Amino acid sequence: MTLEINFDGLIGPTHNYAGLSLGNIASHSNAGAVSSPRAAALQGLTKMRTLLDLGLTQGFLPPPPRPAAHVLRRLGFKGSDQAVLAQVADEDLDLLRAASSASSMWTANAATVLAAPDTADGRVHLVTANLGTMIHRSLEADDTYATLRRVFSGEAFAVHAPLPFAAHLGDEGAANHMRLAANHGARGVNVFVHGAPRGGRFPERQALRASQAAARLAGVQPAALFAMQSAEAIKAGAFHNDVVAVANANVLLAHPQAFATRPDLLAELSARLPGLVVIETRDLSLEDAVASYLFNSQLVSLPDGDMALIVPVEARDNAAAWREIQTILAADNPVTKVKVVDLRQSMSNGGGPACLRLRVPVAAAARDQINPAFLLDHARLDRLTRLVETWWPRAIAPSDLTDPALWEAAMVAHAALETFLTAPTV
């Protein structure tokens, strides 16, 4: 039996609102606000608990050390961690902000995951994203690659290094990839959604060449589908496809303006996957879709065979989005449940439920090869919650990013997390 594991990003102790992400409306709207790293991480952990309570398997990926003094040394800064950070704070404050970002929380951007039934060698392939469009995210790539190799070290997995950092190879990972199949263990149809240089005011982050490379590295079979994201969606703030579309098993939930070539894509999907269920919202504007993050919900398969939507509070509070959700639940389709989760800290930086998780479908043998330190049950989740309550800062104002006391507190928090990860699992 094949199951899908959601690996959520644990929100790091330097979570802050620096407004670093061009095209992400929430990020820019909240730039300069005071963040609450402890509350942010606890909200994320509560979402993980919701998935566990639904009977699903849940994992997590730890944040890399931030501020990233180890990365800054590669740029010529020298000395102890504190000395490096002090020098960067004095010489290049924007670089310090980038090196302090907790954006690795959004593990949908960690890698593109290609399921074993779809690959040439029958292994699960993870192609680490280079995230080259934004400096703060590009600093994550090497750390993410190391983490993925630590988690998925067994022979059932192939973890690929990030693609070269180049303007025409920008790769944002699973946020622009959808897999549709009769079930998680069946051979599926892989849809890679990309942008193009169309001269809009926001960057189109996923390059077609990067998507093609990910499919090629994994030997995706049968041939992958490549679909262009609509310019209108990007203009409205859908910087990733998962802001306007989400797929699970044989269900595609999408905004009608998600894709530039919608009729051709839907026709090809229907031809390749008999039993495809397409759910499109009809009375939801792109503006309400982006504000509510309805499509950035998790769509998950439950043990009883039904599906559930894990939606942010913002989707419930947006009248148009909530009406669409009720229409979906009342219709004849596999989506029968909705769970509302509070992720306001992440949402204020532009990341909803789907941004916070990387989906990894695995058969039983592959499941046994995952490092157990990164899998959660209720007891381990309780311990991780207590760790966050003890070590994560309560609040970070923009001026705090230059405070050595914050740097030291973050280092202590990361050390405590590493102790948790290296302790024996029961």
Q: How many CB atoms lie within 10 A of CB 33?
A: 16
pLDDT score for 357:
98
The answer to whether residues 174 and 109 touch, using CB atoms and an 8 Å cutoff, is: yes
- d(CA 203, CA 226) in angstroms, rounded, equals 19
Strand order across the beta sheet in which 189-194 lies: 177-180, 189-194, 225-228
What's the pLDDT score for residue 25? Answer: 66
Structural domains of the chain ordered from first start: 2-66+101-422 (3.75.10.20)
What is the phi/psi pair of residue 360, to 5°? -130, 105
Name beta bridge partners: 359: 6
Q: Which residues of the chain have pLDDT under 50?
A: none
pLDDT value, residue 28:
66
Please give the pLDDT value at position 51. Answer: 98
- The token duo for 401 is 């990013």
Q: What are the start-end ranges of the H helices in 293-403?
A: 313-317, 319-330, 344-347, 364-367, 378-391
Question: What residues does 396 pair with on adjacent strands?
Answer: 35
Q: Check residue 98 and give its pLDDT.
A: 96
pLDDT number for residue 197: 83
Q: What does the pLDDT read at residue 248?
A: 98
Point out the residues that are catalytic.
172, 240, 355
Share of the chain above pLDDT 90, in %: 90
List phi, psi (to 5°) of 117: -65, -15
- pLDDT score of 201: 80
Q: How far is CA 200 from the centre of its chain?
A: 24
Burial of 155 (0-12, 13-18, 19+ CB in 10 A): exposed
Query: What pLDDT, on a 0 to 100 scale, did the predictor assign at position 22?
Result: 64
